[in-house]
Structure 1
Amino acid sequence: MPPTDRLELLREMMARTRIPLEIHPSDIDRFRAHSRIADLGDLGVQTTRGSSAAIVRTPKLARDDAPPSLVIGLVSEGTSAIRHHGRHSVLRPGDITAYWSIDPYGLTFETDTVRHSFTISLDRLGLPASVLKAQLGSRVGQGSALQAIVSAHLAQLAVLAPRMTPAERRALEQPTIELIRALLASGIDDGRARGPLAETLELRIMTFLETHFDDPALDVAAVAHAHGISERYVQLLLARRNVSMGEWVRMRRLAAAAETLADPAQRLVTISAIAARWGFADHSHFTRSFRAAYGATPRAWREERLGR
C-alpha cells in the first residue's frame, strides 16, 4: 500500500476513536505506526509505537459530541511532548501526563516512541474540574512514590490487557480507575484530595507490594515510609484484607521463582541463582519452601515443565 494510502487509512481510524484526532507525520514516505487497543469497561487502553509525528486535537474537534473524557498518557520508550492548557512538558520513560478532550492539545513523538493512553469519561472519574485543570499538560506526580506505583501498574496493564480474559479486565477496571484518581488527587494539597487518597490507600499498598516484592529491603517500615503512614497502620490495613505481609511476600517470590524455572530462556541459569534472584539466600530453605508450596522440588518442577 502506498504511503499516502496508509496515512489516509490511519487518519480514518483515528477519526473513529473515543477521542477523534488528527495526525501529521514528519516524513510521510517513511511513516510507520502500530497500535493495540483494549477496553476495560469504561477505561480505554491504547498502546502506540510509531515514527516521528504530531497528534492534534484541534479546536474544532474539541467541540465535537464525543463524551468529555480525560486521557492519562504514559511513555515507556523514547520521548514525547505535550502542549495543553498553557503548559508544555517533555515526557520520558515512566512519566505520566493528563489531558482532556474538551480543549485542544498537541502531542509530538520521536521515532520509535512507545506510548500508552488510558481514556476515561470525566463523569466516571468523578474529580472536580479544578483538580484536573491544575495538572493538565504537566508531568503528573513527578518524583512521588505514588507516581512510581501508578506508572508501573499502568505500564504492565497496557502490555497485558489485550490478552486478558473479559473477567480479568472487569476485575482490573475499578482498581485502575481508583489509582488514577488517587494520583490526580495527590497533586492538590487541600481537602479535595483526602477522599480519593483515603479510599485507595489499601489498594495502593497492595500495588506497592506487587511492584517491590523483589526488593530485599522491602519491609513494613518501607511500606509505611512510602505512604506517609505508621507501621502499625500498615499492619492494620493489611489485616483488613487478611494479608500477612511476610507470608504474602514469600509466596509472591516463590511464584516468581516458579515462573523463572519454567522459562526455556532461563534453562542455563542455576537453581541457586534463581533462588537468590527472588530473595532466597539459603538454597536449602528455598527448596523446602518451594516443595511445601508446589509439591515438588525446584529441580523436579523445572524438568517437568521443560520436558526433560
Structure 2
Amino acid sequence: MRHATSTIDGHVAPCRLGALRIATHRGSAPYVLENPEPGQAGDTALVGVGTQPDGRAILSHRGLLLPCAPGEAFVVDMSQPWLLRQLDDFRLHLHLVPRNLVGLSDEDLASLWGVHGRSGHGVTRLLVPLLITAAESAPSYAHHIAHHIAGSLADLLSTMAMERKAAHCAAAVRPEGQDERARTAQRIRHFVNENLADRALSPEHIAAHHHVSVRHVHKVFKGEGTTLSRWISRRRLEECRRELARLDPESASCVAAVARRWGFANPTHFSRSFRAEYGISPSEWHRIRTTGGVESAEGGRQFADGAGLGT
C-alpha cells in the first residue's frame, strides 16, 4: 500500500539516522503528501515529524486545517489520516520516529499533534533547527553516533510534550484562591523533585515539611487535576526512563538497580507501572535505547518505502 503520494513528480531523497527514517521532499506547488489509509502497514507505531526550511503549507490532521510556515514543524499521528498541501516551492524533511523510542504515554503524546511555530516554547525553538540539521547531515554520521543522535532527538520530543502540558496548566484560568494553591503546589513539586530517591517520601512527610495538613496537600494536587501519589510516581518513572536510556547496554541487572535508586522498593510494581505508563517494559526500553533494536521501526518500512524513504 502506497501511503504517501504527490500530485507532481517531486524529488524525494531518503536516508536513515539510527532508528529514524527521513525523507527530504523538494518540489513546487501544487504538491500533496498524505497518509490516506493508516494502520495497514504497521505505521501505528510511528510518529511523523515534519520540518519545512522553505515554503508554506497547509496541514490537515484530526479535523483541523493548520498553516505551516517556513521554519515551523508539524507532528502527526501515523495511525490517523493526514494531508500536507504545499503552497510554494518548498523543501520538507519528514522524520518517521518509532513511538517506543520517544517513550511517551498516549496522553502525553497527544499534546504534540499539530503545528509548532518559531514563536513557540523554548524546546520547540531548539528542536526544529536540530531536526533540519540532522536531516541534512544524516549520511555523514557513523552508525553508533547516528543511533545516539536519534535517541537525543526523541528525548527532545518528549521534553517538548512535557513543556506543552506544563504551559497548558499554567495558562488555565484559576478560580479565586487558586493562586496560593498553585504556589504551594510549586513548592511541593520542587521539594519532591529534590527528594525523589527517598523511599520515605509520603504525603505525611511532605505536609510536615511545609507545615500544612495532609488534607491540604491532597487538596492542592486535586486542584491541579492529579493526585500527589500519582505525580510522584510519574516523576520517578520519568527519571528511571531517562537513566535507562543512557546506561551501558550490557548492564543486564541495571533495571532493578535504577528502580531502587529512584525510590521503587518493589521491582515487580516498578515494571508494571512502567509498562502502564509507556506501553513497554523497562528492560525493553533499555534495550531499544542502548542497542538501537527498535522493532516497531520495521513496522513502518512499507510506509517508508511508499514515501520514498527506502530501506
TM-score, normalised to structure 2, is 0.50
Which structure has more RCO (C-alpha within 8 Å, separation ≥ 6)?
A: 2
Give 2:139's aligned residue.
162
Q: 2:105 aligns with which of 86, 110, 128?
A: 128
The answer to whether the aligner puts 1:66 opposite 2:80 as a matched pair is: no
Point out where structure 2 has 5 or more consecutive residues left out of the alignment.
170-230, 243-311
Structure 2 partner of 1:243: none
State the shift of 1:167 in Å.
Answer: 3.5
In 2, the alpha carbon distance for the partners of 1:198 and 1:162 equals 32
Q: Is the 8 A contact 1:56 1:107 kept in 2?
A: yes
Matched with 1:181 is: 158
CA distance in 1, matches of 2:164, 2:21: 23
- Do the aligned residues in 2 keep the contact of 1:42 with 1:173 (CA within 8 Å)? yes
Aligned partners of 1:40, 1:105: CA distance in 2, in Å? 24
State the identity as a percent.
Answer: 17
Task: Tell me which residue corresponds to 1:56.
Answer: 34
Q: Aligned partners of 2:114 and 2:49: how far apart in 1?
A: 10
The answer on 1:103 being equivalent to 2:80 is: yes
Secondary structure at 2:52 match in 1: strand
CA contact (8 A) 1:75 1:95 kept: yes
Q: Could you report, residue by residue, the CA deviation over 1:1-28 in whole angstroms, capped at 9, with x for unpaired residues? A: xxxxxxxxxxx9xx2xxxx2233x2xxx
Aligned length: 176
Supply the distance in 2 between the matched residues of 1:193 and 1:97 (Cα, whole angstroms).
27
Cα deviation, 1:236-259, whole Å, max 9, x if unaligned, reads xxxxxxxxxxxxxxxxxxxxxxxx
Are the structure 2 counterparts of residues 196 and 93 from structure 1 closer, same or farther at C-alpha, using a change threshold of 3 Å?
farther
**In the superposition, relative to structure 1, how do residues 196 and 156 fare at CA in structure 2: closer, same or farther (>3 Å)?**
farther
- TM-fit CA distance, 1:188: 1.0
Q: Distance in 1 between matches of 2:146 and 2:115?
A: 28
Deviations 1:225-272 (CA, angstroms, capped at 9, x unpaired): xxxxxxxxxxxxxxxxxxxxxxxxxxxxxxxxxxxxxxxxxxxxxxxx
| CA–CA distance in structure 1, aligned partners of residues 25 and 43 of structure 2 | 22
Residue correspondence of structure 1 range 10-25 to structure 2 within 5 A: 15=2, 20-23=3-6, 25=7
Letter in structure 2 aligned against 1:72: V
CA contact (8 A) 2:111 2:161 kept: no
DSSP-derived class of the 1:115 partner: strand
Tell me the CA shift for residue 116 of structure 1: 1.1
Distance in 1, Cα, partners of 2:83 & 2:138 = 26
Whole-Å separation in 2 of the counterparts to 1:163 and 1:105: 31
Confirm whether residue 82 of structure 1 aligns to residue 82 of structure 2. Answer: no
Q: Is the 8 A contact 1:182 1:196 kept in 2?
A: no
1:151 pairs with 2:128: yes
Partners of 1:88 and 1:137 within 8 A in 2 = no
| Alignment equivalent of 1:38, drawn from 3, 15, 19 | 15
| In structure 1, distance between residues paired with 2:162 and 2:47 | 14
Show CA shifts across 1:132-151 (max 9, x none).
22332232685222111111
The residue that corresponds to 1:230 in the other structure is none
Instruction: Describe the superposition over 1:146-183 as per-residue Cα deviations: whole angstroms up to 9, x where unpaired.
Output: 11111111111111112333233123121111112211
Aligned mates of 1:197, 1:136 — CA distance in 2: 24
| Structure 1 contact 84–99 (Cα < 8 Å) conserved | yes
Say whether the 8 Å CA contact 1:141–1:184 is kept in structure 2.
no
| Aligned pairs (5 A) from 1:160-239 | 160-189=137-166
**Which amino acid is the alignment partner of residue 34 of structure 2?**
V
Q: Where does structure 1 lack aligned partners over 5 or more consecutive residues?
A: 1-11, 26-30, 201-308
How far apart, in 2, do the equivalents of 1:63 and 1:45 lie? 20
Are the equivalent residues in 1 in contact too, given 2:38–2:81 (CA < 8 A)?
Answer: yes
Q: Secondary structure at the match of 1:103?
A: coil
Q: With structure 1 as the length reference, what TM-score do the two structures score? A: 0.51
**Separation in 2, partners of 1:47, 1:137:** 20
